[in-house]
Structure 1
Amino acid sequence: MKRVLLAVSLLIFLAGCTSQPVPDPLRPAPPDLPYRTWEIGLLAPSYMEVWVESVDVLDQRGIGYYRVHGGVSSIQNPPDNRGDPRGWPARPGGGKARPMTGIDLPEIVFVRWQSLAEPQTYRVRIDIPDWVREEMIKPQAAYCAWRDAHETQYRDLITVGLAPGGIAKAWLIGPCLEPIEIGRFVGSIHPEGPYEGASGGLYYRPPSEHAQRYLDTHEIPFDSW
């Protein structure tokens, strides 16, 4: 009888142990952030359309994440050449944003994109300094005029502007906070061309109607970015 009770007790003990989650050494712990996730946004100057092939991130833990963002960036193409692509806006928006769920704060952001206005394929490395990561987790008092509310916010969005000539500019942005410039970065021509040579030199598409009209009547303002 004692042996039966001992066996039953052992089975109950083992069942209780196996019901607990077993840590996976190959899966990193979730980032310890004051919000659910940070984001990356993509934008381009008016008429200077881009197709982003890949955004890769190396986070502060040294873990790499590949193709976490891409596609057409946010852009304005007003008809009849009413837009102005020169320079960057004083207060850039978030662009086409995507959450970096499960990724810790960034150490390096890599972008590979097609500049459809030229056309040319570029790649750039954007180093994220320590002060940027510190700023991303610092609570800020914000006033949101559009809803007349005071609240605490974070600058949890890194917006990357992409321009012809391989120029990239990055800002740190919060919903109702003033943007902070991270830096201007000069990329290089990707020697394998679009899609790393897999498309035989073919780009995503030609510029759209209004973009092409601007390109037909103006020079690309390379020096303005």
Structure 2
Amino acid sequence: MGLALFLSGCAKDHRKSLPYAAWSLDFFAPDYMEVWIETADVVDINEHVFRGAGSGIPALGYPRAQSKGVPAEFRGKPKGWRENPGGKGRYVTGADLPRLVYVRWQSMAEPQTYEAYIAIPESARNTMLQSEEAFCGAVGKWKTDYRKLLTVGLAPGGIAKVWLGGPCVKSTEVTRVQGTINPKGPYGGTSNGKHRPLSEESKAYIDNFGIPYGSW
């Protein structure tokens, strides 16, 4: 019902097409605060819906992908957000500028299942159309870049925070949303309330140091 209400809203007519092929929807989570994204859906300014624009495991600093067992030292720092966050995701091919992002995810650290409706401000959409000259370390030269990477951080407590960045430009904050608990639970209620399990390393960190609620 909530998504239907959002879909019924009026969208402003942006006559200018994207100056690039597509923008990317990316996700990450704080160190050790593992997440499983059940679905991420997008509504663009033309009211076109792109379901399944994101899913699965987001970017995560710690534990490393190759980590096994509990390390002698925990090097990750889950408290707060990184200065210039980046994520993992995919390009939303065929979409115009984003108006709304809906995401439902399992916060395995707690565990809990959340959902959030993230309204993208018009100011952010205008930023996505503006070019910027930036030095790109990847190619070792100055180039024209756009903020076409929409990055969402998902944290325990149902927090979703959004940044806009580009391959060569630093990310800027867009908005912060307090999600709500999904009443159906994990997997839409089809798993008898069972969430995906934490890795051994993340579980050990949380058992020792807890979850830094309030830092996100």
Are 2:43 and 1:50 aligned? no
Q: Which residue of 2 aligns with 1:191?
A: 183
Give the number of aligned pairs.
193
Equivalent positions of 1:148-187 (< 5 A) are 148-187=140-179
Q: Secondary structure, in 3 states, of the residue corresponding to 2:80? A: coil
Gaps of 5+ in 2: 1-15, 64-70
Equivalent positions of 1:29-108 (< 5 A) are 32-78=17-63, 79=71, 80-93=73-86, 95-108=87-100
Q: Secondary structure, in 3 states, of the residue corresponding to 1:222? A: coil
Q: Percentage identity across aligned positions?
A: 48
Q: Within 1, Cα distance between the matches of 2:57 and 2:197?
A: 13
Cα shift readout 1:171-209 (whole Å, capped 9, x = no counterpart)? 001111121100111000001100111111121x21112
Q: Within 2, Cα distance between the matches of 1:217 and 1:101?
A: 43
Q: Within 1, Cα distance between the matches of 2:94 and 2:191?
A: 32
TM-score w.r.t. structure 1 length? 0.83
- Report the aligned-residue RMSD: 1.2
TM-score w.r.t. structure 2 length? 0.86
Q: Within 2, Cα distance between the matches of 1:209 and 1:77?
A: 12
Are 2:200 and 1:215 aligned? no
Cα shift readout 1:206-225 (whole Å, capped 9, x = no counterpart)? 11121111011011001100
Q: Which residue of 1 aligns with 2:9?
A: none
More helix by proportion, 1 or 2? 1
Q: Within 2, Cα distance between the matches of 1:186 and 1:145?
A: 35
Cα shift readout 1:84-136 (whole Å, capped 9, x = no counterpart)? 1000011112x112010011110010110000000000001111011111111
Gaps of 5+ in 1: 1-30
Q: Within 2, Cα distance between the matches of 1:193 and 1:34?
A: 40
- Judge conservation of contact 1:81–1:213 (CA < 8 Å) in 2: no
Deviation at 1:148, TM superposition (A): 2.2
Q: Within 2, Cα distance between the matches of 1:152 and 1:187?
A: 35
Q: Within 1, Cα distance between the matches of 2:43 and 2:140?
A: 38
